Amino acid sequence: MNIPTFRTSRRSFLKGLAVSTGGIILPNILLAQDGVPASKKLGMACIGVGGKGESDMTAAAKDNEIVAICDVDSRTLDKAAAKFPNAKKFTDFRKMLDEVKEIDAVTISTPDHAHFPAAMHAIALGKHVCVQKPLVNTLWEARELHNAAKKKGIITQMGNQGHTFEETRVVKEWLQAGVVGKISEIHVWTNRPIWPQGNKVQLTAGTAPEALDWQLWLAQSPDIPYSPEIHPFKWRGFVEYGSGAIGDMGCHNLDPIFWGLDLGIPTHIEAMTDELTDLAWPRGAKIKYQWKNVPKHGDITMFWYEGKTADDKPMMPPELPELEGKEHSKTGFYIRGSEGVLYNGGDQAKNLQILPEKRSAEFLAAKPEKTLPRSVTPGNPQQEWSLAIKQGKPFPWMSQFDYAVPLTELCLLGALAQRVGKPIQWDSAKLQVVGMPDAAKFIKRASYRAGWDYSAARI
């Protein structure tokens, strides 16, 4: 049975939100959605304005002013400037952030490796930041980013748009209501990577396009010659620049589960990989996460599947008898409990089913009340973040760093287990693998280029 459709008027929503947030009435700034002008237009700067960056820039522009744009490719920059002709243009975000005083907030939509220096430079100057997922591609950088944001008191957001969706709240409400009983096992899978990984990843030197500033693209990473195997599309497959399939899709597909069950950080993680190299993430992988004594459930094990096997078949979870012979979707998750299975055939939580049909009928006959506040801008985390800045504090439902950093840590722990190649016990408080000091080289980069070494202590 598919998820039921909920339709709530905005006036009813705000009334309900006042109840669910302890009687707190949202400020008038939200009335901008009903045609009343917002009290202030923020000065927005955008770092990375092509591809996803272009859509992030457009979203951030609503009821605001794009005052500065930055991209390492002058062609991409000129295209964005045609859309926002009053914005000042830069190829170096450091120069932009230092010089343009009208900047209130910054979107960051670069390749993964450049998220950290861009966000840290902005945070050091007291700018609010919205960073694309995953926030960073090393565990140390995630922790430093969080510490820096708390130190400066800025409002943050990660660009995992699924966290704004209705269905993500439904998952949490259903799980809280015991939709499948006591949970013991979770399976999550993706058809990514759709770029080269494993032994297919090779470095061939080439000539950088005239429009591209390759040194700025590298950001904090070691200086190497330009390679068309890295830029513009294939960087996600490299351990230096991307975070593999779990980094790309984990912040989407693990989000409703991580939030819905309040899982926190697992203690034990292990990974089976195929064709992991020093240069590239594996062609295929299966990751096992373990949590102990989860409230109301006990021990929970979660498996993540990505890529393909050695015989070129998709890595997939065990078949579900409750699906009655139907194949799994290309991406999705299922949560097995003592009373049934919660199945999602697709990205995020867009296609929920309760299995078997008997359990679905029982549960939906008296489906739970809405208990969680809904995002005022579903599908648009940039606008949600903008409204939070204008009200002077984050909304409780946002993917702000207090939530997004642990979610990113969950994903990066899977990546860490891939690189370590053996089961690990994680000490999140100390940011280290218990009894495995050699793993430190995968937790923090060995070195940063001069001028690109940021830390929370230094801002």
Question: Where do the structural domains in the chain lie, given as residue ranges?
Answer: 1-21+162-375+404-459, 22-161+378-403
Query: If you average pLDDT over residues 433-451, what whole number do you get?
Result: 96
Query: If you average pLDDT over residues 176-200, what whole number do you get?
Result: 97
- Indicate whether 32 pLDDT > 80: no
- Indicate whether 18 pLDDT > 90: no
Residue 186: DSSP 8-state: E
- Indicate whether 13 pLDDT > 70: no
CATH 3.30.360.10 fits 1-21+162-375+404-459, yes or no: yes
Q: What is the sign, positive or negative, of the torsion defined by CA atoms of 20, 24, 30, 34?
A: positive
pLDDT attached to residue 24: 32
Give the three-class secondary structure for 176.
Answer: helix
Look at strands 65-70 and 88-90 and give their pairing. parallel
- Indicate whether 36 pLDDT > 80: no
pLDDT band at 26 (very low <50, low <70, confident <90, very high): very low
pLDDT attached to residue 310: 86
pLDDT attached to residue 325: 86
Name residue, tokens 């801008």. Answer: 377
Query: If you average pLDDT over residues 372-387, what whole number do you get?
Result: 97
- Indicate whether 1 pLDDT > 50: no
Gap between the terminal Cα atoms of the chain? 52
Q: Are 128 and 104 in contact (CB under 8 A)?
A: yes
Residue 34: DSSP 8-state: G
pLDDT band at 192 (very low <50, low <70, confident <90, very high): very high
- Indicate whether 4 pLDDT > 60: no
Q: Are 101 and 78 in contact (CB under 8 A)?
A: no
Calpha distance 398→376 (Å, rounded): 10
Q: Are 214 and 90 in contact (CB under 8 A)?
A: no
Looking at the domain 22-161+378-403, which fold is it?
Rossmann fold (3.40.50)
The model's pLDDT over 89-139, given as tens digits with 9 standing for 90+, comes to 999 999 999 999 999 999 999 999 999 999 999 999 999 999 999 999 999
421 alpha-carbon distance from chain centroid? 24
Calpha distance 280→283 (Å, rounded): 9
pLDDT attached to residue 38: 52
The model's pLDDT over 221-231, given as tens digits with 9 standing for 90+, comes to 999 999 999 99
Q: Do the domains at 1-21+162-375+404-459 and 22-161+378-403 have one common CATH topology? A: no
